[in-house]
Amino acid sequence: MNHFNWRKGVLHAEGVPLTAIADAVGTPTYVYSSATLTRHFRVVSEAFGDTPHLICYSVKANSTLAILRLFSGLGGGFDIVSGGELARVRQAGGDAGKTVFAGVGKTQEEMEAALAAGILLFNVESAEELEALDAVGRRLGRRAPFALRVNPDVDARTHRYISTGLKTSKFGVPFEEAVALYARAKKMKGVRAAGLDCHIGSQLTQASPMRDALTKVAGLYRELKAQKHPLAYLDVGGGLGITYADETPPSPEEYARTVLAATKDTGAQLILEPGRALVGNAGVLLTRVLYRKKTPEKQFVVVDAGMNDLIRPALYEAHHGLQPLVKRRGKAVEVDVVGPVCESTDVLAKARPLVLPQPGELYAFMSAGAYGMSMASNYNSRPRPAEVMVDGEAWRVVRERERIEDLWRGERA
Ligand code: LLP
């Protein structure tokens, strides 16, 4: 459910016509609906009912300060993967004490900053990383609270680029090694075991891999508790998929039922790390048509947004819906919608049936709130888009469009 709706033939975000935003701010521009963000957060949280749980929004999905501030205001914590993300969380007023830190390559500086900030949990991904964390803890005279991220060797049945829970993946500690590693950690003075963690992949559209992975991980949690490890948190990761085209991912209720059934009787406080499910369908990318071009083979439509603004189609062959901001009538033709970037993969929408777009017309790439702006780059020396937050009838720019001078900030010719 989202708050992007047609009113009198014009696509709106909540009460605001998207054409008004495009005309005022220009394109390409990301637009987010705060009602949708709020709704998604609440629906996921309410699905877990009275079971103690903390939603740690996965910052990588969209790290824009206004979004972090909104989730923080709803009581959310954060899942981070770098010192930069920690700094963003704090800049947005987020609570380090509700923040968990994952990633296979945390540097000692990042660990120190996170420990000094008082984060809730380090999700440790290897034995060597645990030793490094122990050293940092001892140096700072603190015991760093940690969970091992275990790799349950379950196929998430998603795109291979965003699957993380197989034995061949770089993520997590091999499941079979976890018990020995917790035992070793007991003797370390700079760390203290506080939880157990897993995450098997992103854009999961089936409940069964989640159930299989969490059943294994919950079993390990009970075993570790029986061995008197003082665990309190079971972090079930993120990954709940959304509908881009015709996927039918589990509803938040089904997701919660799956998680709760697999983890019942652990007595653990659950940590959830949703990213895409909270922000994906709460954002769109506005773009303007520049040119049409017909070749013997194809009808191309060139727009002013490119793969540097939204890389998902180029990187994962991902599908994003495409809607004109002003509804059009007529016969649909099959078009390839491409950006200005000098790469053959800069195709944002392939073989789409559209009433042939006219130069100057405005369109929206749908479901672009997750891994859109956070993966945007300056490739081809293109300034990154502006971002706008809508709230009811009101809207505001939450990030200015990058200026040309920003392109060489810090450089010396
Ligand atoms: N927790 C961990 C440890 C993760 O690695 C991720 C995502 C999440 C939570 C959040 O997953 P989500 O709920 O958003 O599925 N750029 C790709 C997705 C990469 C996901 C990386 N990890 C894309 O655009 O599809």
Of the candidates 389, 131, 175, 127, the residue with the CA atom closest to the CA atom of residue 279: 389
312 lines ligand 1 (CB under 6 A): yes
**Alpha helix (H) residue ranges in 48-165:** 65-73, 83-91, 108-117, 127-140
At residue 161, the pLDDT reads 77
| 205 pLDDT tier (thresholds 50, 70, 90) | very high
Pairing of strands 299-303, 283-294: antiparallel
Q: How far apart are CA 168 and CA 32, in angstroms?
A: 36
79 lines ligand 1 (CB under 6 A): yes
For 187, counting Cβ atoms within 10 Å of its Cβ (0-12 exposed, 13-18 middle, 19+ buried), the class is exposed
Q: How far apart are CA 146 and CA 149, in angstroms?
A: 9
Of the candidates 359, 369, 395, the residue with the CA atom closest to the CA atom of residue 12: 395
Judged against a pLDDT cut of 80, whether residue 335 lies above it is answered with yes
At residue 89, the pLDDT reads 98
77 lines ligand 1 (CB under 6 A): no
Judged against a pLDDT cut of 80, whether residue 166 lies above it is answered with no
| 158 pLDDT tier (thresholds 50, 70, 90) | confident
CB atoms within 10 A of CB 345: 13
pLDDT digits (tens, 9 = 90+) for 25-70: 999 999 999 999 999 999 999 999 999 999 999 999 999 999 999 9
Annotated binding site for substrate: 276, 312, 316, 343, 371
217 lines ligand 1 (CB under 6 A): no
At residue 162, the pLDDT reads 73
pLDDT digits (tens, 9 = 90+) for 107-154: 999 999 999 999 999 999 999 999 999 999 999 999 999 999 999 988
Pocket test for ligand 1, best of 80, 151, 202 (most atoms within 8 A of CB): 202
82 lines ligand 1 (CB under 6 A): no
Which are the catalytic amino acids?
342
Pocket test for ligand 1, best of 44, 60, 67, 159 (most atoms within 8 A of CB): 60
Q: How far apart are CA 229 and CA 360, in angstroms?
A: 63
Taking residues 222-236, what's their average pLDDT?
A: 98
Q: How far apart are CA 13 and CA 20, in angstroms?
A: 11
Ligand 1 centroid to 230 CA: how many Å? Answer: 28
Of the candidates 168, 226, 227, 224, the residue with the CA atom closest to the CA atom of residue 201: 168
Q: How far apart are CA 149 and CA 413, in angstroms?
A: 44
199 lines ligand 1 (CB under 6 A): yes
Ligand 1 centroid to 58 CA: how many Å? Answer: 7
Question: Exposed e or buried b for every residue in 349-373, given b needs 16+ CB within 10 A?
Answer: beebebebbeeebbbbbbbbbbbbb
Q: What is the mean pLDDT of the chain?
A: 97
Taking residues 197-226, what's their average pLDDT?
A: 96
Atom of ligand 1 nearest to the CA of 197: 3
Ligand 1 centroid to 402 CA: how many Å? Answer: 26
This prediction has a pTM of 0.97
At residue 167, the pLDDT reads 76
Ligand 1 centroid to 164 CA: how many Å? Answer: 9
Judged against a pLDDT cut of 90, whether residue 156 lies above it is answered with no
Which residue has its alpha carbon closest to ligand 1 atom 6?
A: 238
Pairing of strands 233-235, 191-197: parallel
For 228, counting Cβ atoms within 10 Å of its Cβ (0-12 exposed, 13-18 middle, 19+ buried), the class is exposed
Domains parsed from the chain with CATH numbers: 4-32+280-408 (2.40.37.10), 103-272 (3.20.20.10)
61 lines ligand 1 (CB under 6 A): yes
Pocket test for ligand 1, best of 272, 276, 315 (most atoms within 8 A of CB): 276
